[in-house]
Amino acid sequence: MIKGLDDLLKSQFNIVISDKSLLDEAFTQASYVNEHPHQNLKFYERIEFLGDAVMQLVVSEYIYRRYPKLPQGRLTRLRAAMVNEDSFASFARECHFDQYIRLGKGEEKAHARERDSLLCDIFESFIGALYLDQGVEPVRAFAAQVIFPKLDEGRFDEFFDHKTELQEVAQQHGPVAIDYELLSEDGPENDRAFKVAVKIDGETLGVGVGHSKKNAEQSAARQALVKLNQDHA
Amino acid sequence: MIKGLDDLLKSQFNIVISDKSLLDEAFTQASYVNEHPHQNLKFYERIEFLGDAVMQLVVSEYIYRRYPKLPQGRLTRLRAAMVNEDSFASFARECHFDQYIRLGKGEEKAHARERDSLLCDIFESFIGALYLDQGVEPVRAFAAQVIFPKLDEGRFDEFFDHKTELQEVAQQHGPVAIDYELLSEDGPENDRAFKVAVKIDGETLGVGVGHSKKNAEQSAARQALVKLNQDHA
């Protein structure tokens, strides 16, 4: 058993995996297995294959339901922004999974533990282990804690156009007036700060700041979307 | 409602979709929606986005469990052989889904109904509708009827090396002797027929025929795998 991993999962995510061998498999790289040939160990790759498919479904379903007007092309782009090596490696680090990977000595020396590709793999193999142990519902709960809030925090903003989205969501039941109003603009030339409000039919639903007017507008639109989604929840 | 589709699903697959609007959406192309602007119709693309992810998971989990020794790379290749436009279009035709798609007149004239890409989409959107209506279990049951048997029938053989697979499965619990024995070879030069038996530790587990020795061996190995999987079930 991997020391401390159980405690981490319990304290951070309230997850208790019954089948500890699944956890061991999910956090063990082939290099470690090769260095311990007599322990009959398994490495994470097969379980990662499954975890990847589980995560694709859980993210797809979440954005499908959350953005009922988003066309397929934009759903696909948003999913690609959420499900990729970069973001999964970040999630793995935020969950402190990097500290629990079992690596061979050579890989350890080569700083594999900091490598995005490995961290992404381990994040997926953890998902695979959780799914095999408990089914899809706990994976959804984990994603709701680790991944989905990042949407509202703007983590995927560069892939996602909040102004267009706000237009789609706000006009779901008919046309409304959406206006962006510059509230202030200050700071030195090389560090301007813009403050923008977005109003829907005259009511201010969000205020955003940014180093450009465009960024401030996107940020205001994002806020308005959070508000609209709360109102509809 | 699409005429006859309900009856087809009930009689062929024992599936009854409660929310008929999901079925309508799944079998309607954008061209049809555009020709009926006042009916407030939806087309299949969003639901297909979801169905694609559901199918990926269902197929991934099936082959993950069925081939417990298959390494990740080969799982990935096998899944790609099963989940692609060609095979999904064939499944759609075998299920007679092509007859129930709602198309615009232009698309109908352009023979869209016979187009692999559209048939593949519709197969996935049907899966999406089934999933939204009833969850993942009925999708698994549908796949067990329509997709998984094709593995034993050899539909994916060109992507799949049964001899290697047999070696992996048979030697799961230690080394065994696997021998291929040519039983007969006849027919004219340009239409030879080979008959090969595969023996594991002396016991014949499969007999295959083919136009080459290699094909006959693959076919014998496939038969042996079916037998081994039955024994382990």
What are the tens digits of pLDDT across the range A129-185? 999 999 999 999 999 999 999 988 878 876 677 888 888 888 877 789 999 999 999
Please report the pLDDT score of residue B126 as a whole number.
98
Tokens matching residue A197: 């409000």
A76 Cβ under 8 Å from any chain B Cβ: yes
Is A121 annotated in a binding site? The answer is yes
A46 → closest Cβ in B52, B57, B75 = B75
Q: How many helices (H) and strands (E) does chain B have?
A: 12, 3
Active site residues of A: 52, 124
B54 Cβ under 8 Å from any chain A Cβ: yes
A53 Cβ under 8 Å from any chain B Cβ: yes
All residues of chain A having their beta carbon less than 8 Å from the beta carbon of residue B72 are 45-46, 48-49
CA separation for the pair A185, A168 (Å, rounded): 28
CB contact under 8 A, B45 and A70: no
Query: H helices within A20-84, ranges in order?
Result: 20-26, 30-35, 45-66, 72-82
What are the tens digits of pLDDT across the range B136-170? 999 999 999 999 999 888 788 766 778 888 888 88
What are the tens digits of pLDDT across the range A78-97? 899 899 999 999 999 999 99
* Arithmetic mean of pLDDT, B23-44: 93
**Best residue of A49, A168, A173 to probe chain B, by most B CBs closer than 10 Å:** A49
DSSP code string of A167-187:
HHHHTTTS---EEEEEEEEES
Q: How many helices (H) and strands (E) does chain A have?
A: 12, 3
Q: Which CATH code fits A161-232? A: 3.30.160.20
Q: Are A26 and A129 in contact (CB under 8 A)?
A: yes
CA separation for the pair B2, B7 (Å, rounded): 10
Residue pairs spanning A and B at CB distance below 8 A: 50
What are the tens digits of pLDDT across the range A119-143? 999 999 999 999 999 999 999 999 9
Residue with tokens 């007007």: A69
CB contact under 8 A, A75 and B46: yes
Looking at CA atoms only, how far is residue A80 from chain B in angstroms? 12
CB contact under 8 A, A49 and B136: no
Residue spans of the domains in chain B: they are: 5-158, 161-232
CA separation for the pair A71, A68 (Å, rounded): 8
Which residues in chain A belong to E strands, given as ranges? Answer: 178-186, 193-200, 203-210
B144 Cβ under 8 Å from any chain A Cβ: no
| A5-158 classified as CATH 1.10.1520.10 | yes
ipTM: 0.77
